[in-house]
Amino acid sequence: MAELVWQLRKGPEGAPYAFAAFNKAEKRTNFFDNAEALRGFLMKRGSAAEDAVTLTARVEAGETVSVTLSK
């Protein structure tokens, strides 16, 4: 199964989105209105539920996180 590296970030203050996932290889960006939507994105692409919760918490805290997920 093909894999892609995604960079997860919290949206800037005043942005119309809360979180974003950027994929440089495919020049794709996904925007999310809330943490639950970001967790769903991660789990849909193969992240374990515990990992999705941990990654989302890190992004909510303002950290930029890179993660490899299935395509």
Domain ranges (residues) in the chain: 3-70
Q: Which residues contact 38 (CB under 8 A, 6 or more apart)?
A: 8, 18, 19, 21, 32, 56, 59
Which pTM was predicted?
A: 0.92
Render each residue's pLDDT in the chain as its tens digit; 71 residues.
Answer: 689 999 999 999 999 999 999 999 999 999 999 999 999 999 999 999 999 999 999 999 999 999 999 98
Cα 20–Cα 24–Cα 26 angle in degrees, nearest 5? 100
